[in-house]
Structure 1
Amino acid sequence: MKPKSKPNWTFKSKLGLPVVFIACSFFFFAGLFGSSLFFSQDISVATPRQRLLESVYDLMPFGDSGDDSITIIPFQVLSWRPRALYFPNFATAEQCESIINMAKPSLKPSTLALRKGETTESTQGIRTSSGMFISASEDDTGTLDIIEEKIARATMLPRINGEAFNVLHYEVGQRYNAHYDAFNPDEYGPQKSQRVASFLLYLSDVEEGGETMFPLENGIITDESYDFEKCIGLKVKPRQGDGLLFYSLLSNGTIDPTSMHGSCPVIVGDKWVATKWIRDQEDQD
């Protein structure tokens, strides 16, 4: 008869696997929480996000017109045909309200650049908003100067190539039918310069309607009988502080046919937007 073996009194057998697992988990999460708290304090207080990036990446030598820091401007590509990019939280609510307040006293019915043979009477109803033009140099608050500089960095197109801001207000039912921002010389005559890109800064939320729409996105519409009043295709909903950039010209300098766009009618609320048109040469207007 074999003698009974002595029991193996180990730490595991005394406490049991569940207790050991719980203890290990406790120390693991305690260490994880402590380290995350330490690093979060270090980043938020002593090391801002920009400095953190610069500590990870060696900054390159820069020229006389360059920067000694990294610029962070988040964006999302909405479309490649046309080239359209979305910039969330491009401006603060305070900046948006400041632009609205400076524009309100000078609003007038929006006008159109007329094609050959068109008249003001024949184009009524195409663009029904009100608006005004203001340059950064006319803004004593400095808000437009900050926005204009940020747009230049986002587009990599010089500030001097930009037209004055066109601040627009759309009330219920108002819209802008589909159109191009670039000017076809065959329709508008010879051009000293051409609009390369447009940057729309949404100054207010719109409860319903008011989207910026691209009906020819990716060439989905080829029918020449397209109704310019229709609000179809890729739609971008206005949200205060967000930006929308799209390019009117292709890389070869010709007009991108898919850059046709418009503003859907406002259904509920009202819409405020500041538009910056950027040309291929210094703006002389």
Structure 2
Amino acid sequence: MRFLLLFFALLALALADLFTAIADMEHMLGAEKDVMGVIDQYIEAERERLNKLRNFADEYSKRNAHAEEVGPEFVTNPINAYLLIKRLTSEWKKVEDIMRNNAAEKYIKNITQNRVNSQVRFPQEEDLSGAATALLRLQDTYKLDTHDLAHGVIDGEKVGKPLTAHDIFEVGRAAYNQRDYYHTLSWMQVAMNKLENEEPKSMEESEILEYLAYSLYQQGNVRRALNLTKRLAQIAPNHPRAKGNVKWYEDMLQGKDMEGELPPIVNKRVENDGIVERDAYEALCRGEIPPPEPEHAKKLRCYLKRDKPFLKLAPIKVEILRFDPLAVLFKDVVSDEEIEVVKELATPKLKRATVQNSKTGELEHATYRISKSAWLKGEEHPVVARINRRIEDFTNLNQATSEELQIANYGLGGHYDPHFDFARKEEKNAFKSLNTGNRIATVLFYMSQPERGGATVFNHLGTAVFPSKNDALFWYNLRRNGDGDLRTRHAACPVLMGVKWVSNKWIHERGQEFTRPCGLDENVQENFVGDLSPYENSP
């Protein structure tokens, strides 16, 4: 199933955050069909009402034609005079009643009541804003052209219907509301171009001009901002800000550079967005992965893990993705049937994902993590318990102190900006309530395979892992000496096309004293999962 971006015109009467999980949006497809049913009923009722009105109009037309044919003498006939007065009083009241008896309120009430009673949630303004912001995030990460997106094209492939000028304008306005004038300018320009060739027009030119002018000003092009604002004042003389803005721009220029050709449009993307390693992160998301060093690459291999009695009968396939630090992919370690059970258990529990505040230790929502998640205990279902046991088999780590299995479904442009899974030394309150120490390792199950995007990337290592369904990515967050490994800073890239379901297990230090002991050398690293040797070794 494909998803580009959904723009919702429906008003909301329930909780927002629908854009944060595709699972919630899938349910809305059926809800939209129900709404269309109510609209069809309303149209049919209106058709009957308008047919009645048409019949009255035809009858009036015939009578009026006869009266005009007779001329002024028509009203000298008392019967005719009576009928004329009757038509313009009591019969006209019938016409008024038909015209006023619009059933819209009744059907709107039905839709509203259905929304309240429905299990399906409807979007709010936050969802529309979140959807537009997601499109901007995808555009940046995957270097998508604004014009292409506006025409429903991604990477040269037609994936959706073209947007109207108003649709495009709403994306630009979402960027404006975030003071993102780089995207505001880009989208407002495309909206203006679309409007010029649009028939019928989906909006007024004056709505675009003010945003376009101000974004040009913010990008340092006051001359063009003034030029567009003069155009706004001309076509919308009653605009509340146009004349004042013209003077404001003119005062700013102080008569300088007022003549001659307008300066070229230069649209620069602002770099201070808080993500220091943004360029490297986005390049990895696009699959621009630097080639490994030859000496390192020739050591990478696959092997069968047989280091436990059960695994001698059912070995696990392991692909070593990198060393120092070690990261591996366990192949085919969760079945399609198990995935469906886990998704079914998790879906009713999905809530917007949270992050831990480094200062307070409290969980909170964050714009840099767009997904919904749920937690499943082992005792809730045999499948969950079986997955937990399997994790212990393939990681060689005690699961008694692990966190519950977390399931996540990513939403529109769903992502998680660069972060660490472990708590750093300054985060003293992290995991305090668990009393199980720091997160020693992470297991990440891929329960779906998006068509495009959604990779797990390690920024400083130049490593990107694209989701492969049924597999599990594993890495150690802590070094053998217990210190956090800063090289494991990673991110979840935005989902460009498709659906991304993952589940993860965070394994803690407590209980691992014998399963992963310190080495004699504080810098010792594993060469394979379960490597207990004090020095460098190989399987």
TM-score (norm 1): 0.66
Alignment of 1:255 with 2:488, yes or no, is no
**In structure 2, what is the Cα distance between the partners aligned to 1:161 and 1:282?**
7
Change (3 A) 1:68 1:132: closer
Alignment of 1:196 with 2:440, yes or no, is yes
Considering fraction of residues, name the structure with more strand. Answer: 1
Aligned length: 203
**In structure 2, what is the Cα distance between the partners aligned to 1:68 and 1:204?**
27
* AA partner of residue 269 (structure 1): G
Change (3 A) 1:167 1:113: same
CA contact (8 A) 2:360 2:429 kept: no
**In structure 1, what is the Cα distance between the partners aligned to 2:497 and 2:491?**
18
**In structure 2, what is the Cα distance between the partners aligned to 1:166 and 1:148?**
12
Residue 422 of structure 2: which of 161, 182, 185 is its match?
182
**In structure 2, what is the Cα distance between the partners aligned to 1:120 and 1:137?**
25
**In structure 2, what is the Cα distance between the partners aligned to 1:120 and 1:146?**
29
Residue 126 of structure 1: which of 368, 388, 407 is its match?
368
* AA partner of residue 406 (structure 2): N
Residue 136 of structure 1: which of 359, 378, 386 is its match?
378
Change (3 A) 1:205 1:252: same
Alignment of 1:78 with 2:321, yes or no, is yes
Q: Quote the residue 1:214 is aligned against.
A: 458
Q: Quote the residue 1:44 is aligned against.
A: none
CA contact (8 A) 1:212 1:262 kept: yes
Q: Quote the residue 2:493 is aligned against.
A: 264
* AA partner of residue 412 (structure 2): V
Q: Quote the residue 1:226 is aligned against.
A: none
CA contact (8 A) 1:81 1:259 kept: no
CA contact (8 A) 1:161 1:279 kept: yes
**Cα deviations by residue, 1:211-247 (Å, 9 ceiling, x for unpaired):** 1111111xxxxxxxxxxxxxxx311111211110011
* AA partner of residue 198 (structure 1): T
Change (3 A) 1:94 1:251: same
Q: What SS does the corresponding residue of 2:320 show, helix, strand or coil?
A: strand
**In structure 2, what is the Cα distance between the partners aligned to 1:120 and 1:164?**
16
Q: Quote the residue 2:469 is aligned against.
A: 240
Shift in Å, 1:124: 2.6
Q: What SS does the corresponding residue of 2:357 show, helix, strand or coil?
A: coil
Q: What SS does the corresponding residue of 1:103 show, helix, strand or coil?
A: helix
Structure 1 segment 266-285 matched on structure 2, within 5 A: 266-281=495-510
CA contact (8 A) 1:209 1:265 kept: yes
Q: What SS does the corresponding residue of 2:339 show, helix, strand or coil?
A: helix
* Divergent runs of 4+, >4 A: 117-121
* AA partner of residue 253 (structure 1): G
Structure 2 portions without partners, runs of 5+: 1-303, 513-539
Shift in Å, 1:171: 2.1
CA contact (8 A) 1:162 1:282 kept: no
CA contact (8 A) 2:373 2:408 kept: yes
**Cα deviations by residue, 1:171-200 (Å, 9 ceiling, x for unpaired):** 230100111111113134475411100001
Change (3 A) 1:188 1:175: farther
Residue 88 of structure 1: which of 316, 327, 331 is its match?
331
Considering fraction of residues, name the structure with more helix. Answer: 2
* AA partner of residue 194 (structure 1): N
| Cα RMSD, aligned residues only | 2.5
CA contact (8 A) 1:172 1:268 kept: no
Shift in Å, 1:81: 3.1
Change (3 A) 1:95 1:188: same
Rg (Cα) greater in structure: 2
Q: Quote the residue 1:109 is aligned against.
A: 352
**In structure 2, what is the Cα distance between the partners aligned to 1:131 and 1:68?**
32
Change (3 A) 1:101 1:117: closer
Shift in Å, 1:118: 9.0
CA contact (8 A) 1:171 1:269 kept: no
Shift in Å, 1:260: 0.8
Q: Which has the bigger relative contact order, CA under 8 A and spacing at least 6?
A: 1
TM-score (norm 2): 0.36
CA contact (8 A) 2:356 2:362 kept: no
Alignment of 1:168 with 2:412, yes or no, is no
